Structure 1
């Protein structure tokens, strides 16, 4: 752990706006955030695999429970003290947003939506997160930042509409709801990662949800039959260990280093990566518009990463 991971009992929660720190800190923070994006980009394909074996409710509950056991093992082994009472409100937002809300809503959406469609809709997450961060922290990124973010969002929306033929489905409603709750969870997690290590942020959020997760597994399995397959087991293992625990750990560390708004723009690349995985892992057909959208999104990422708050 670095000095940045430690905090005194009276430390004040602060958010890096991406303007301070050394070049080395910025590079390492960007690398951590990129690792988180790669981990997240495989979440939708892994979820589709998991749904081969589990129902949506039992899959989400088992995902959370397994991730909580992994996190709990680390917390116990390292004898991590329980967070101060003043941090539990933020941890509750993280739990509700990224442990329960986003996984549940996106899993329900993937029952009717393709992975590629879900990926481009959730591509709006960077802009949503930046907006939440601006309201929550009071920091205002530069105008260039917002212009590039809006252009990136417009590209994502256009691509999503083209993919769906201009009609929104029930799955889209789930996905838009997932955007809101996840952005709130990312924002609070990024703030808390300034006063405790990122893996402890997601770890304690998972532990807080453990009673609900275990109850959910018991209830859901009674109504949803399980048909174990290799894909199903791999999908569940990935979303529990990597997407939910490791991915969020490096993601929150990255946000703490380079700022919530700037880190969130790296997720503009996530839909492109997920489209690639959907082709190689799920055999979905990639539309001709995908390469065009990919180039436009990457340009927006380059602009937002150069913009100063």
Structure 2
């Protein structure tokens, strides 16, 4: 499959990057409602390792069927960082954190993810956004965090530390994977990362599996399929390609919209209410993303 190359029209390539990134965020946004439904019948930690194992098995099949070449020796360390960040680290740490904090509290930290991604884009990707970009990035993060705090959250040191670790792991995994996608290809990066994580994820799934699955409903299995195939694999195909095309720091700001897309899906699927304040904050976040896009370089 075609890798990313130097585009003839950089502006067009960046636009495609924002489109791919937006599709990735939409796919990731469905993870929250799907996970909420799935954990009603699956243990959270078991769900985390099982979805990674399923995605890893699919990744092995894709790489074998398409006869993809193995990564170069100097690419394996980056793939290991991606696997530890987005395949194992973020899903597991957030699952553990949500045993101590509410979903509303977790939004405080999810609002910091675009900023973390931008910082790692500088440290690992060599990007240098303009100063005004950081202003919009900080303002967007502040809007999301402020919205979460306004919902009324309580301090839980254990959950807070786990969420902070999750955000750092995810931001590093996003930036590292996007940098590697420029030479290895977006879908290849996530597939090889899933392959690296497959052995411990598969063994953990067998170890943590319940004695019987007879009480698991069809809707829970559908949700498991979504978080396994879309959240762990298909979403990353668009996301990593978008980051590589449009810039890690810039396109990463689209993550500011993810909590609100997730809440909108939850309102549709789970019949949860969406307030006027939520819509107002969403509009402010959209303006911040647009500003970050304009001043990213």
Preserved contact between residue 94 and residue 205 of structure 1 (Cα < 8 Å): yes
Question: How far apart, CA to CA, are the structure 2 residues paired with 1:4 and 1:140?
Answer: 21
Instruction: Look up the SS of the partner of 1:137 in the other structure.
Output: coil
Other-structure match for 2:230: 242
Q: Deviations over 1:188-230 (max 9, x none)?
A: 1001100111111000110011110111001111589774112
Give the counterpart of 2:253 among 265, 282, 304: 265
- The aligned counterpart of 1:10 is none
User: 1:141 is matched with which residue?
Assistant: 129
Query: CA deviation digits over 1:120-143, x for unaligned, max 9?
Result: 531221111001111223332001
| Total equivalences in the alignment | 297
Q: Report the 3-state secondary structure (helix = DSSP H, G, I; strand = E; otherwise coil) of the residue aligned with 1:79.
A: coil
Deviation at 1:287, TM superposition (A): 4.0
Select the residue among 17, 25, 32 that pairs with 1:29. 17
What RMSD, in angstroms, separates the aligned Cα atoms of the two structures? 2.3
- Structure-2 separation of matches of 1:285 and 1:171: 26
Q: Residue in 2 aligned with 1:306?
A: 294
Contact 1:55 1:224 in 2 (8 A): no
Query: Do the aligned partners of 2:111 and 2:142 also contact (CA within 8 Å) in 1?
Result: no
Aligned-pair CA distance for 1:240: 0.7
> What's the offset of the Cα at 1:22?
2.5
Q: Structure 2 vs 1, CA of residues 5 and 48 (structure 1 numbering), >3 Å: closer, same or farther? A: farther
Residue 118 (1) aligns with residue 106 (2): yes
TM-score relative to the length of structure 2: 0.92
Q: CA deviation at 1:231?
A: 2.4
Shift in alpha-carbon separation, 1:308–1:173, aligned structure 2, 3 A:
closer
Partners of 1:165 and 1:199 lie apart in 2 by: 37
Find the residue that maps to 1:195 and give its secondary structure: helix
The aligned residue for residue 119 of structure 2 is: 131
Q: Output the CA distance in 2 between the equivalents of 1:40 and 1:151.
A: 22
**Does 1:109 find its partner at 2:97?**
yes
Q: Secondary structure at the match of 2:183?
A: coil
Q: Give the C-alpha shift of residue 119 in structure 1.
A: 4.0
C-alpha contact 1:120 1:271 (8 A) present in aligned 2: no
State which of 164, 179, 203 in structure 2 corresponds to 1:176. 164
> Shift in Å at residue 85 of structure 1?
1.2
Q: Give the 5 Å matches for 1:1-309.
A: 1-2=1-2, 4=4, 21-111=9-99, 113-119=101-107, 121-165=109-153, 167-168=155-156, 170-221=158-209, 227-309=215-297
Contact 2:55 2:232 in 1 (8 A): yes
Q: CA deviation at 1:3?
A: 5.3
Describe the SS at the equivalent of 2:182.
Answer: coil
List alignment gaps of at least 5 residues for structure 1. 7-15
| TM-score, reference length from structure 1 | 0.89
Ranges of 4+ aligned residues in structure 1 off by more than 6 Å = 223-226
Structure 2 residue runs of 5 or longer lacking an equivalent are: none
* Deviation string, structure 1 residues 6-60 (Cα, Å, up to 9, x no partner): 9xxxxxxxxx9xxx95332122111111110001111111111111221112111
Contact 1:49/1:234 (<8 A) preserved: no
